[in-house]
Amino acid sequence: MTLKDNKADICGFNTIISPVLMDVVGRRILILFFFGFLLTPMLTKAQHPFVIQDETPQHIFSFDEIESFYDPTGSLSFNEIPQQSFLPSKSSTPQNTLLNGVYWYRIAIKLNAPTDKQWLLEFFDQTIDHLTAYSPDGKGGYDQKQLGDTFAFAARMVHHKNFEVPLQLRGGTAVYYFKVKSHQPADIIVVLRSVNWFIQYANSEYFTFGIFYGMILIFGFYNLLMFVAVRSRQYLYYTLYLFSVGLYEMSTDGLAFQYLWPSAPAFNQYAFAIALCLISIFCLLFTRSLLHTPEKAPILDKMIIGLLISRVLFFVYSFAFNRDLFNYKFIEFLPLALAFSTGVAVYRKGYRPALYFVIGYGCICLGFTYKILIMLHLDWLNIGAATYYSLTISFIAEMVFLSIAIAAQVSEFKRTRDKVQKQMIGEMKKSRDLEQKLNKELEQLVGERTKALSEQTALVAAQNIALEQKNGLLLQQAEEISRMNVLLEKDNEELHTSVEQLARSRIMSEDVDFEEFSKIYPDSESCFAYLAQLKWASGYHCRKCGGDHSFAGHTPHGRRCSKCDYEESVIAYTVFQNSRIPITKAFYLLFLMYASKGKISSHKLSGILAIRQGTCWSYSNKIKKLMDDRKKELKKSEGGWSKLVLD
């Protein structure tokens, strides 16, 4: 029987049945049909209506006061819904279990005596996408009102975070119908309130929200200031975690739609998912920073990093390909459970601040567990509005205990610092006592030594007189020896310089063997030292920024610019750059090429240096070209083969 059939009354029935029908079916059949017709609306109206009383400011509909019907086609109109298919709710709060499914609900309100109050119906769940309310118009028909978070906030009849439907009560029993469709689970929490009570309740609720979000702002900005002051990342992660919690709570309780994006209802469909992803990310980052997991729990730290990456990838995939996956909010239990487990593991290792961390995340884990059990349709746990705000209560408890955990960490740091200071003071006291003891022993030894020295002073004085006479003679001899040493040193320096100059001149101009050449440049260190002296004889100049100051580089005799950190090796920009020949042999090869004026063959070079002929041929050609390019310079300047070194 449809709603339209249910509106038929007895008078209408009498006009339909004609005397001809009475003759055909007989009196008994007519009586049975008549009583069957009467019983049908009685069965459909078996719903228990709520009786309005002025002394009752509000009433929450639950159990058999709400009847529901699921429309499997999703296309039934208001006049096509079968009234006999409505079933009483078996839980205190019905819920849309099939996402994007169409559900019909109805409640009955009875007014026995006139009332001076204005009344309205309020829906707690602000995440309902489409909510169509059908209210009796007093003329046998129904008024239709469209609500839901897919409409702009300004289109609401009452500018409140919840959905409100004003009532026009005219006495008697009135049945109200609601069509609900949502892409995520929706709790059908319907409350009848007087307008006066609604205003009082709304003010109190917004005041409570102000306290909650005020706590988030205060805790958040305090930790942000702590981060600016001490540069500890845990304060930054905790601040971002708190703001993410605030964004999620505002997205779920409707305040974000009311104040942050009232003209963007489409954003409501996934704003909560963004906030949940941020909560998981900053929850795990805060856990790593506060509990020092890389040092205290390295295995769990790797699990945290892996879960972080997985959570971000899941969000990106869901956002790009299937946003219905955002409804699987139970996955947020994984980061919270991992953070809780990490806190337990670190606390068992003796880290005291982890205790309050465990309590805080224990509260939020309980809140999420409770929500998950509700999602699994354990309806006996659903107690209406308290269930709806259970996660908010968990967040408040978690926020308090996590703040205590941070304070406990500071106390732990202070306690450790005080302990170290006491140990240092004790060590300093021991050192002072030891110093005093040593000073006393030293004074005693000094006294004894002084007495012995005083006895020897007289003997020494007599000996000194004799020594002074001998010293006079020795001084004269010493002066003569000193003068001779000075002359010898000068002669030695001149001789050494002459020998070295002779050797270098010989190397620069004559044909010498590798053994004689190696006496001047015996190893790579001497070769690099000579190259450094040759390259930076007129001072260091950075080739990148032009700086004049440098430090020692990472390579032998290299230079690193003190201004731009550009590092230049000693063989860079020389003929030896990129050479695979040992530097000592490369020096000698260059000398031989210069001494022979480039006429020595690569075969002879290979035999002298014990290097492959191909390598000698390649390197000698490079030097020949360089000698041809600098022919005029080599004739005019002194220095021999050293003029071929620098590029």
Which of 354-368, 379-393, 421-435, 541-555 has the least mean pLDDT? 379-393
Segment 136-142 mean pLDDT: 88
Segment 78-96 mean pLDDT: 88
Residue 43 scores a pLDDT above 90: no
Q: What CATH class does 50-201 carry?
A: mainly beta
For tokens 């450094």, the residue is 532
Share above pLDDT 70 across residues of the chain, in percent, rounded to a whole number? 84
Confidence of residue 522 (pLDDT cuts 50, 70, 90): confident
Q: In what order do the strands lie in the sheet with 559-561?
A: 550-552, 559-561, 567-568
Q: Where in the chain is the domain with CATH 2.60.40.2380?
A: 50-201
39, amino acid identity: L
User: Residue 382 is encoded by which pair of tokens?
Assistant: 């659903």
pLDDT tens profile 484-493: 777 777 766 6
Residue 215 scores a pLDDT above 50: yes
Please report the pLDDT score of residue 38 as a whole number: 38
User: How far is residue 520's CA from residue 642's CA, in Å, rounded to a whole number?
Assistant: 14
Residue 495 scores a pLDDT above 90: no
CA angle 402, 408, 409 (to 5 degrees): 95
Greater confidence, 478 or 525? 525
Please report the pLDDT score of residue 25 as a whole number: 32
User: Residue 416 is encoded by which pair of tokens?
Assistant: 């450790």
* Mean per-residue pLDDT over the chain, rounded: 80
Beta-strand ranges (E) seen in 10-118 are 50-51, 58-60, 67-71, 87-88, 102-111
Greater confidence, 212 or 13? 212
User: How far is residue 95's CA from residue 103's CA, in Å, rounded to a whole number?
Assistant: 9
Segment 605-630 mean pLDDT: 87
Scored b (16 or more CB within 10 A) or e, 92-130 reads bbbbbeeeeebbbbbbbbebeeeeeeebbbbbbbbbbbb
Greater confidence, 41 or 257? 257
Considering only CA atoms, give the Rg of the chain: 49
DSSP 403-422: HHHHHHHHHHHHHHHHHHHH
Please report the pLDDT score of residue 512 as a whole number: 63
pTM over cut 0.75: no
H helices of 254-329, where?
A: 255-259, 268-291, 293-296, 298-321
User: How far is residue 238's CA from residue 224's CA, in Å, rounded to a whole number?
Assistant: 9
Range from 101-110, 215-224, 227-236 that averages highest in pLDDT: 101-110
Q: Using alpha carbons, select from 333, 325, 338 the residue that is nearest to residue 286.
A: 338
Which residues have C-beta within 8 Å of that of residue 622, sequence separation ≥ 6? 575
Share above pLDDT 90 across residues of the chain, in percent, rounded to a whole number? 17
Which of 209-218, 242-251, 474-483 has the least mean pLDDT? 474-483
Confidence of residue 55 (pLDDT cuts 50, 70, 90): confident
Please report the pLDDT score of residue 20 as a whole number: 31
Please report the pLDDT score of residue 388 as a whole number: 58
Please report the pLDDT score of residue 493 as a whole number: 67
The crossing angle, in degrees rounded to 10, of helices 583-595 and 613-629 is: 50
Tell me 387's DSSP state.
H
383 class by beta-carbon count within 10 Å (0-12 exposed, 13-18 middle, 19+ buried): middle
Residue 34 scores a pLDDT above 70: no
> Pairing relation of β-strands 58-60 and 172-181?
unpaired
Segment 231-240 mean pLDDT: 87
Please report the pLDDT score of residue 5 as a whole number: 38
Please report the pLDDT score of residue 474 as a whole number: 81
> Pairing relation of β-strands 87-88 and 67-71?
antiparallel
User: Residue 17 is encoded by which pair of tokens?
Assistant: 């049945």
pLDDT tens profile 337-387: 888 888 889 888 888 778 878 887 787 777 767 666 666 656 555 555 555
Please report the pLDDT score of residue 4 as a whole number: 36
Greater confidence, 320 or 553? 320
User: How far is residue 209's CA from residue 541's CA, in Å, rounded to a whole number?
Assistant: 66
User: Residue 238 is encoded by which pair of tokens?
Assistant: 């905790």
User: How far is residue 508's CA from residue 511's CA, in Å, rounded to a whole number?
Assistant: 9
Which of 265-279, 365-379, 562-576 has the least mean pLDDT? 365-379
Please report the pLDDT score of residue 366 as a whole number: 75
User: How far is residue 315's CA from residue 274's CA, in Å, rounded to a whole number?
Assistant: 8
Residue 31 scores a pLDDT above 60: no
Please report the pLDDT score of residue 136 as a whole number: 92
Please tell me the total number of residues recorded for the chain in this structure. Answer: 647
Please report the pLDDT score of residue 320 as a whole number: 93
450, amino acid identity: T
Residue 303 scores a pLDDT above 90: yes
> How many C-beta atoms lie closer than 10 Å to residue 61's C-beta?
24
Residue 248 scores a pLDDT above 60: yes
User: How far is residue 101's CA from residue 68's CA, in Å, rounded to a whole number?
Assistant: 13
> What are the Cα distances from residue 158, in Å, to 119, 122, 230, 384?
13, 10, 47, 22
